[in-house]
Amino acid sequence: MSTQIISGRDIAEEIRGELTERVAALKAESGIVPGLATVLVGSDPASEMYVGMKNKAAAAMGIHSRQITLPAATTESELLGVVDGLNADPAVHGILVQLPLPNHIDEGKIIEAIDPSKDVDGFHPVSVGRLATDSGEFFAPCTPAGVVEMLVRSGNDPNGKHVVVVGRSNIVGRPLASLLLRKGAGGNATVTVAHSRTPDLGAVTRTADILVVAMGRPEMITADMVRPGTVVIDVGTNRVDDPTREKGYRVCGDVLFDEVKEVASAISPVPGGVGPMTITMLLANTVKSAALASGSKV
Ligand code: GUN
């Protein structure tokens, strides 16, 4: 049996096509153009690149994007002032403050200052609480929401399955477990969360029907840790030294792909797996926010 390769790149493109149509319909129905504001403090090259990619993807589907770039010396109260201004701006439906912030700024304070109805990152404690209690309107964090979309759209619905999530971060592992536990579409899974301190990790990962790995450790998951027939989603993006490459490094996931693809029934690659889904789900949240603000059916 050949292994199914779950391409996040293809699924992201499919969703972006749907979103582009939704943006056009919103504009035609109610004259609303979804607006995303990204805030970048300082000039970290990786953050600059990510924010640039987010704005470019937004513009490509007709979302209005505004990038606010502030100097690294911006004070916490100045940044809070910027967030307040965006909270009050009706043309802005989604606010993303790129992390990490400089050390002198309390990230938690900034995240809590964002209006939860514009929290398209899903990091505000109100969003986290609503997700955890499966209640009210909220935005799911983009990477875990992308993982669920990949599973459902590739024909590997987590409904009724035992999903082992390896990783307990606030950005991926914990919210992913909450999403998978929800009643309804994309949920109804039985979920185990394991992590770097789990004794005999392989004994746990081998019990999975679906294994999602978000540990941030290059190629940690080897074939002996995966039961034949498992669906494997690799959230890791790691740079490892590779003198055979022109750049001197290669990008790999948390799963030893070449080995694990021989036992898995389906597997997502790195790059081209979860990565492209994250920005797409940010745009989906922005469109949802605009639709909610306009009173249109989402
Ligand atoms: N930095 C790295 N990833 C993210 C993300 O998804 N959202 C924000 N705000 N900052 C990030």
Ligand 1: distance of its center to the CA of 31 in Å? Answer: 30
Q: Is residue 287 part of a domain?
A: no
Q: Is residue 296 part of a domain?
A: no
Q: Are residues 104 and 218 in the same domain?
A: no
71, 97, 126: which is the final residue of a domain?
126
Q: Are residues 70 and 115 in the same domain?
A: yes
Q: Are residues 189 and 248 in the same domain?
A: yes
CA angle 278, 279, 281 (to 5 degrees): 70
Q: Are residues 75 and 35 in the same domain?
A: yes
Task: Give how many domains the chain has, as a whole number.
Answer: 2
Q: Are residues 185 and 97 in the same domain?
A: no
Ligand 1 atom 2: residue of nearest CA = 99
Q: Which residue, chain included where needed, has tokens 């100045």?
A: 78
- Kindly state the tokens that stand for 82: 């910027």
Asked if residue 279 has its Cβ within 6 Å of ligand 1, the reply is: no
Q: Is residue 13 part of a domain?
A: no
Residues with catalytic roles: 54, 98, 121
Q: Are residues 263 and 153 in the same domain?
A: yes
Per DSSP bridges, beta strands 4-5 and 266-267 are parallel
Q: Are residues 104 and 165 in the same domain?
A: no
The candidate with the shortest Cα–Cα distance to 213, out of 267, 153, 141, is 267
pTM of the model: 0.96
Q: Provide the pLDDT for residue 298.
A: 58
Q: Is residue 7 part of a domain?
A: no
Q: Is residue 21 part of a domain?
A: no
Burial 4-22 (b: 16+ CB within 10 A, else e): bbbbbeebbeebbeebbeb
Q: Which domain holds residue 267?
A: 142-276
Angstrom distance (rounded) from CA 99 to CA 112: 14
Per DSSP bridges, beta strands 64-70 and 35-41 are parallel
Q: Is residue 167 part of a domain?
A: yes
Kindly report the CATH number assigned to the domain that includes residue 188.
Answer: 3.40.50.720
- Compute the residue count for the chain: 298
Q: Is residue 234 part of a domain?
A: yes
Q: Which atom of ligand 1 lies at the shortest distance from residue 142's CA?
A: 6
Q: Is residue 64 part of a domain?
A: yes
126, 150, 173: which is the final residue of a domain?
126
* Residue 221 main-chain phi, psi, to 5 deg: -90, 115
Q: Provide the pLDDT for residue 296.
A: 76
Kindly report the CATH number assigned to the domain that includes residue 86.
Answer: 3.40.50.10860
Q: Are residues 110 and 187 in the same domain?
A: no
166: three-class secondary structure by DSSP: strand
Q: Which residue, chain included where needed, has tokens 């290059």?
A: 218
Q: Are residues 84 and 180 in the same domain?
A: no
Q: How far is CA 129 from the centre of its chain?
A: 17
Ligand 1 atom 9: residue of nearest CA = 98
Q: Provide the pLDDT for residue 202.
A: 98
Q: Are residues 148 and 244 in the same domain?
A: yes
Q: Are residues 146 and 272 in the same domain?
A: yes
Q: pLDDT by residue for the chain (298 residues), tens digit each?
A: 699 999 999 999 999 999 999 999 999 999 999 999 999 999 999 999 999 999 999 999 999 999 999 999 999 999 999 999 999 999 999 999 999 999 999 999 999 999 999 999 999 999 999 999 999 999 999 999 999 999 999 999 999 999 999 999 999 999 999 999 999 999 999 999 999 999 999 999 999 999 999 999 999 999 999 999 999 999 999 999 999 999 999 999 999 999 999 999 999 999 999 999 999 999 999 999 999 998 876 5
35: three-class secondary structure by DSSP: strand
Ligand 1: distance of its center to the CA of 125 in Å? Answer: 16
Ligand 1: distance of its center to the CA of 86 in Å? Answer: 18
Pocket test of ligand 1: the residue of 98, 124, 277 to mutate, having most ligand atoms within 8 Å of its CB, is 98
DSSP classification of residue 221: B
64, 94, 126: which is the final residue of a domain?
126
Q: Are residues 198 and 230 in the same domain?
A: yes
37: three-class secondary structure by DSSP: strand
Ligand 1: distance of its center to the CA of 276 in Å? Answer: 13
Pocket test of ligand 1: the residue of 39, 41, 47, 50 to mutate, having most ligand atoms within 8 Å of its CB, is 50
